[in-house]
Chains A and B, each alone.
Chain A
C-alpha cells in the first residue's frame, strides 16, 4: 500500500495537479475570507473563523472531484490498471493507497489555513478571544468531510474510464450527500414527520453539529461509516472485471 501511496503523492507533486489544487484552494479562500466584502472576516466584526468552515466545503465540492477523477479512471483508460492489479497487491491496498494520497493532498491545501487561526487569534479584542474549541471541532469536521468527498470521488473514478464523467459524477454525488438531504427534508412528504432522519443521512447535519465544537461520537461514526461505505464500494467496483 505504501508503494502506491508514494507513487500517487509523487504524481501529484511532479506534475502540475498538486500545485494547482493547493493554489486554487488558497487563492479562493484568501479572496473570500480576507478581500471580498461578502464573507470577509475583517468586516465581520467578530473574531471567528465561521466563514472559513462555511466556504471550504463549497470549494471542496469541485476541487476534490478534480483531485480524485484521474486516480482510477486514468489507469483504466491507459491499461496500467491491468498491470497494477496483477501484482501482489489486493484491490483494497490499491484503493487504500490512492485514498490516503488524495487525502494527503487535500490536507496540504488545508494546512496553511492554520495561519488564519493565528491571525484572527491576534486580531481579537482582547487577543485570544475566540472559540478555539469550536475551531478545533470544525477542523476535525472539515477533515472528515474532505475524507468523505475523497472516498466518493474515488468511487466515481472507479466507475468510468472517462475522467470528465468521473469528475461530474463525483461532484454530483458530493453535492447530493452534502446538501441534498437537507433540502429534501423540507419536502412536504418528510416535513414535520421524518425530516430529522432524512437530514441525518446527509453530511451537512453532522458537519454543522461538529462545527459547534462538540465532537459527538455519532457524527464521527457517521463520517467513518460513509467513508468506509464508499471505499468498500470502490473495491467492489474495481473487482467487477471478475463478475
Chain B
C-alpha cells in the first residue's frame, strides 16, 4: 500500500472538515478525489502531505507514518498544491534546481533537463516563472512535484485554468505516471475522473460517501432507473412517491419531476397511467441515462 489513510478526522473549531475518512491507494492506481467545494478534499490532501496535522487518525505513506517519520514520508511525496504556488521571481531552471538541491538529487542538472523536456518547458526554461502563462506555470508545478521521482503524487486540481489542449496533455502525463506510481488527484470535473482515474473516492461534508472503481461507480449509477416527467398541472410529491417502485422523487421545477427506481424497473407505464387517472396533461416522459454527474449529485446532495 503506498498511501493508507485511516480514520482521519480534522476539526476546525466545531466544524468537522474531515470526518472519519479511511481509504487506501496502491502503486499503479490513479485515484480521483471528488467532492463539491468545501467537502474536505484539499484538507485531506494537506494532511497526507504533512502540511496540516490531523485531529485524529493516521496517514501512512510508503510505509512511513507522516506523524512519526515526516522527513522520510515527505521525501517520497510529490505535491502540487491548489493554486500552484511558485516563486514568481525565479527562473524556471533556477527553481527546479533549487527543488533538486533540497531533495539532494544526484546529477541535478541532468534530472532538471529531463523534467523540463518531459513537461514541455524546453522553450521556456530561461524565463522567469512570473512571465509564464497559466498553463506553463502549471507545468512548472508538475515538474517540481515529479522532480525527485516520488512514489506518491498528490495533485490538487492539476488541470484547473488550462485550455482544452493543455488539459489533454496534462491528463496524458498523469495517466503515464499512474502506471508505476500512486497518484491522488482532486478535481470537480467529473469527465476528468472518467478519463484519467482508475478509482474514485467521493467525499461530502467531510464524510466518505463512495470508494469504488470507475466501472463500479458507473454500474452503481446504472443500478438505478430514472424517469423524467413533466405535467401540465401541479402535482403533489407524495402522490408520485406513492407510485409502485418509486424510490425517490425530486422536483426539477415547473411541474417537472425526476423519479428514481431500482434497476430494471421501468416507471413509464405507471406514470402514464397515473396521469390518465388524474386527468393530468403529460408534457414529457422519458427514461434518463445516468452519468457520473448524477451519481455524484445523488451522493453529495
Contact = CB atoms under 8 A, between A and B. Distances in A.
Contacts of A78: 85-88
Contacts of B89: 11, 14-15
A87 B102 contact: yes
Nearest to B49: A86
B101 interface: yes
B182 interface: no
A179 interface: no
A88 B103 contact: yes
A89 B102 contact: yes
Nearest to B144: A83
A58 interface: no
A122 interface: no
A4 B99 CA distance: 9
A3 B98 contact: yes
Interface in B62-92: 71-72, 74-75, 77, 79, 81, 83, 85-90
Contacts of A15: 89
B102 A3 contact: yes
A226 to B, nearest CB: 29
A78 B83 CA distance: 9
Interface in A62-102: 78-80, 82-83, 85-90
Contact of A10 (B46, B74, B94): B94
Contacts of A4: 102
Interface in A1-49: 2-4, 6-7, 10-11, 14-15
B52 interface: yes
A86 B71 contact: no
B53 interface: yes
A88 B74 contact: yes
B98 A83 contact: no
Contacts of A241: 51-52
Contacts of A14: 89
A70 to B, nearest CB: 10
A11 B130 CA distance: 14
A89 B101 CA distance: 11
Contacts of B74: 86-88
A231 B182 CA distance: 37
Nearest to B75: A88
A83 B52 CA distance: 12
B120 interface: no
Given A86-B49, A86-B77, A89-B102, A80 B71 contact: no
A193 interface: no
Contacts of B99: 87
A173 B87 CA distance: 28
A88 B90 CA distance: 21
Contact of A86 (B50, B83, B101): B50
A242 interface: yes
B99 to A, nearest CB: 8
Nearest to A81: B85
A80 B102 CA distance: 14
A136 to B, nearest CB: 36
Given A3-B101, A7-B98, A90 B85 contact: no
A126 to B, nearest CB: 52
A83 B81 contact: yes
Contacts of A10: 90, 94
B101 A79 contact: no
A69 B28 CA distance: 44
A88 B77 CA distance: 9
A92 to B, nearest CB: 12
Interface string A134-170: 0000000000000000000000000000000000000
List 8 A-B pairs, minimum CB-CB distance, nearest first.
Answer: A79-B85, A3-B101, A88-B75, A86-B49, A80-B85, A3-B102, A88-B74, A242-B53
Interface of B: 46, 49-53, 71-72, 74-75, 77, 79, 81, 83, 85-90, 94, 98-99, 101-103, 144
26 contacts: A3-B101, A6-B101, A7-B101, A10-B94, A11-B87, A11-B89, A14-B89, A78-B85, A80-B87, A82-B46, A82-B81, A82-B85, A83-B85, A85-B51, A86-B74, A87-B74, A87-B102, A87-B103, A88-B71, A88-B72, A88-B75, A88-B102, A89-B102, A90-B71, A241-B52, A242-B53
Given A14-B89, A82-B81, A83-B81, 4 more contacts: A6-B98, A80-B87, A83-B144, A87-B103
